[in-house]
Amino acid sequence: MKKILVTGALGQIGSELVTKLRETYGKENVIGTDIRKKDDHNEVDGPFEIVDVTDYDRLFEVCKTYHVDTLMHLAALLSAKAEAIPKKAWELNMGGLVNALEVARELNLQFFTPSSIGAFGPNTPKDETPQDTIQRPTTMYGINKVAGELLCDYYYSRFGVDTRGVRFPGLISYVTPPGGGTTDYSVEIYYEAVKNKSYTSYIAEGTYMDMMYMPDALNAIIQLMEADVSKLEHRNAFNITSISVEPADFEKAIQKYIPTFKLSYDVDPVRQKIADSWPNRIDCSTARKEWDFKAEYDLDKMTKDMLEKLEAKLAIEG
C-alpha cells in the first residue's frame, strides 16, 4: 500500500482510519472522500474529495487522478438505519460496493471493505461462531454484508483483485460517534456517563454482542492489508473481535471510575430484534492463524481510555 483512497472518510471508522493511515503512510498518500466535506475541513490535514460512491465515473476519476494503488471502501448505511430504509440501503451498500470493486478491477487496486457480525443470522451458532458457518441474516444490512463478502471473493477468484475484509464487531470510539447502528449504545453509554452519570440502554440487559475498541480495529485493517498473501486461505471476511459484553458489563466497568453511574433500560424492539439475531461471541482463531490478529484492549483498558478521552473532549466542547 503506497497511495490509499478511503470512501466514507467522515464516518465512525473512516474519520479515524484516515488519520491513522496518514500517520503511517504520509499525509499526501491518503485521500479521504465522502458525500460531503466536513464543515471545518482544512486542506492542511491532507487531500479530500467529494465522492458519492453510487457515481461510478466520479469514483473512477478520483482514483485515477490520484494514482492510488489501494481502495478502502467504508461508505455504507449501518444496520438500524438500513432496516428503516431497506431499498436505499441496498442501493448504497450494494451499488456502492459494486462500483468500488469495478474501479479496483479496472485500476488493479488492492481492496478492503468491512463485513460485520451482522452477516450472521438467528440460526448461526451463537457462541464461538466459526469462521465458516451458516449465514442467513434477517436484516437488510446483514444481507448486504453476506452478498458483499461473496462479491469480494468473486472479484478475487474471477478477476484477481486482491480483496480482503474483516467481520467487525460493534466498534467503540470517542472521535466520531456512529450513526444508525445497533451497537451504538456501547458508545452512547460512555458519553452519557461523563455528561450525566446515567444512561438508558435501548438494548436489554443480558444481550451479549462482540465489541472492539477503535484502535484495535484500525490496527487490524492495516495488519490484514499488509499480511503475507501466501498465508491467506480466507479473504472475505475474517472473524475478529475483542470482547463479548452485555449492557450490565459496561455499567460495572464504568462504575469503577464513576461510582455513581446508573444504567437503566428502555428497550427498542427494532434494534433488540437485530441484536438478538447476532452471535454472542465469534471465534477469531482463523484471523490469528492466517495474519496474527490480536486485540490489545479489554473492557477495563478501553473504559479507562474512553472516559479519560471523553472528559477532555467534552470539556473543550463545553
The reply on whether position 277 binds ligand VAH by CB under 6 A is: no
Q: What pairing do the DSSP bridges indicate for beta strands 243-245 and 166-168?
A: unpaired
On whether the CB atoms of residues 233 and 156 are closer than 8 A, the answer is: no
The reply on whether position 29 binds ligand VAH by CB under 6 A is: no
Residue that has been written with the C-alpha cell 452471535 in this structure: 279
On whether the CB atoms of residues 113 and 167 are closer than 8 A, the answer is: no
3-state secondary structure of 260: coil
Nearer Cβ to ligand VAH (7/29):
7
3-state secondary structure of 13: helix
Which of 165, 170, 247, 279: binder of ligand VAH (CB under 6 A)?
170
Cell of 55: 457515481
Q: Which residue(s) pair with 71 in the sheet?
A: 5, 111
On whether the CB atoms of residues 73 and 97 are closer than 8 A, the answer is: yes
On whether the CB atoms of residues 27 and 45 are closer than 8 A, the answer is: yes
The reply on whether position 279 binds ligand VAH by CB under 6 A is: no
Applying CB under 6 A, what is the total number of residues that bind ligand VAH?
A: 14
Contact stretch for ligand VAH (CB under 6 A) within 96-104, 168-176, 240-248, 292-300: 168-176
Nearer Cβ to ligand VAH (183/242):
183
Question: What sections of 128-277 are H helices per DSSP?
Answer: 140-159, 185-196, 214-225, 247-255, 269-276
Contact stretch for ligand VAH (CB under 6 A) within 21-29, 87-95, 112-120, 192-200: 112-120
The reply on whether position 178 binds ligand VAH by CB under 6 A is: yes
Nearer Cβ to ligand VAH (118/121):
118
Binding mask 46-85 for ligand VAH (x = CB under 6 A): --------------------------------xx------
CA Rg, the chain, in Å? 19
The reply on whether position 118 binds ligand VAH by CB under 6 A is: yes
Which of 148, 169, 247, 279: binder of ligand VAH (CB under 6 A)?
169
**Minimal distance in Å, beta carbon 172 to ligand VAH?**
9
On whether the CB atoms of residues 314 and 195 are closer than 8 A, the answer is: yes
Cell of 143: 444481507
Q: Is the dihedral of CA 103, 114, 303, 290 positive or negative?
A: negative
Contact stretch for ligand VAH (CB under 6 A) within 28-36, 151-159, 167-175, 260-268: 167-175
Phi, psi (deg, nearest 5) at residue 13: -80, -50
Whose CB is nearest to ligand VAH?
Answer: 181
Contact stretch for ligand VAH (CB under 6 A) within 95-103, 114-122, 223-231, 280-288: 114-122
The reply on whether position 96 binds ligand VAH by CB under 6 A is: no
Nearer Cβ to ligand VAH (19/79):
79
237 upstream amide cis, omega within 30 of 0:
yes
Annotation marks residue 141 as catalytic: yes
Considering 66, 141, 185, 297, which one is annotated as catalytic?
141
Q: Which residues are catalytic?
A: 141
Q: Which residues bind ligand VAH (CB under 6 A)?
A: 78-79, 116-118, 141, 168-171, 178, 181-183
